Amino acid sequence: MHKTPAPRLSRNRSRLAHKVRYALRHPQRVLPYLRRAGRDGWFRFRHRGSHIAYYRAVMASDTARSPAAAVGGAPSHDRWLAIGQLQYDYLVRHGLKPQDRMLEIGCGNLRAGWRFIEYLEPGHYVGIDISPDILIEAKKTLVHYGLQDKMPYLTPVDNLKLDFLPDAWFTVVHAHSVFSHSPLEVIDECLSHVGRVLAPGGFFDFTYDRTEGSEHQVLGEDFYYRTETLIRLAEKHGLVAGFMDDWERLPHGQSKLRVSHPGPGPAT
């Protein structure tokens, strides 16, 4: 397994000592952090008891400021394109074929999705997101790239039960920077249902923020998990998970797991 530098993996970003050290090194980021903490605190108060409703409010606020920034990374179109290309290239190298039927969880404004839609056969892409605001931006992306004839299906959801989708239909399920913003109960809900919609021999790739220290969260937005926690959670629902260590060598801060049904799976 490729090793990310140990200090990064052992760091607990929720601790006051870490926040103080970070503030001293980056004083220009203190005021934006305090503004975001105040905003997020208000959203958590308004939507207490529902992480999905809380994070939908976060997405609406972020999308209003910048659709590119709302799906992660700097609010730069070049960065938006680069991260989308990174996801696309990796998935094609690791098994995606034009005939695959793909479900993208947290499709956002189609940062990678427009490339998947262009590559896949018509009608073979379904994108879901908790944010109606970002899906409006996704439709603008479709128009921009002239992909209407590919007939993708985009729809908002308020949970990850996937109950409106058919059994054993999707050969590829993909979630980028979704579980990095999800408490464990949301991930558990997804893994408890994704096996039903996943076709035999299919796979589910997702990224997450990895830690080798204490699992923690920051502002209710960023969640850090040990790899073995997520592997055990997949096993709990009758799935097997493998660490995609070559993803670690790419210029992206998160880690990636591939989940599938037990038995012979696709080549990685």
Angle at 6 between CA 204 and CA 185, to 5 degrees: 40
Would you say 86 and 251 are in contact if contact means Cβ atoms under 8 Å apart? yes
**Rounded-to-integer distance, Cα 53 and Cα 50, Å:** 5
H or E segment at 231?
A: helix 227-236
pLDDT of 79: 87
Taking CA atoms, 215 is separated from 10, 24, 42, in Å, by: 10, 24, 24
Identify the structural domains of the chain with CATH numbers, from first to last: 6-260 (3.40.50.150)
pLDDT of 1: 43
pLDDT of 36: 74
Would you say 191 and 206 are in contact if contact means Cβ atoms under 8 Å apart? no
**Rounded-to-integer distance, Cα 256 and Cα 248, Å:** 8
- State the burial class of residue 148 (Cβ atoms within 10 Å of its Cβ: 0-12, 13-18, 19+): exposed
Residue-by-residue pLDDT tens, the chain, 268 positions: 445 555 667 777 766 666 667 566 777 877 877 787 788 778 777 888 788 888 888 878 877 877 766 666 556 788 889 999 999 999 999 999 999 999 999 999 999 999 999 999 999 999 999 999 999 999 999 999 999 999 999 999 999 999 999 999 999 999 999 999 999 999 999 999 999 999 999 999 999 999 998 899 888 788 999 999 999 999 999 999 999 999 998 988 899 999 999 976 554 4
CB-based contacts of 91, cutoff 8 Å, min separation 6: 116, 172, 174, 205
pLDDT of 61: 83
**Rounded-to-integer distance, Cα 161 and Cα 178, Å:** 15
Label each residue of 26-87 as H, E or C.
CHHHHHHHHHHHHHHHHHHHHCCCCHHHHHHHHHHHHHHHCHHHHCCCCCCHHHHHHHHHHH
The pair of three-digit structure tokens given for residue 266, joined into one six-digit string: 């696709």
231 backbone dihedrals φ, ψ, rounded to 5°: -65, -45
**Rounded-to-integer distance, Cα 68 and Cα 196, Å:** 32
Residue type, 242: G
Residue corresponding to tokens 């879901």: 128
pLDDT of 237: 98
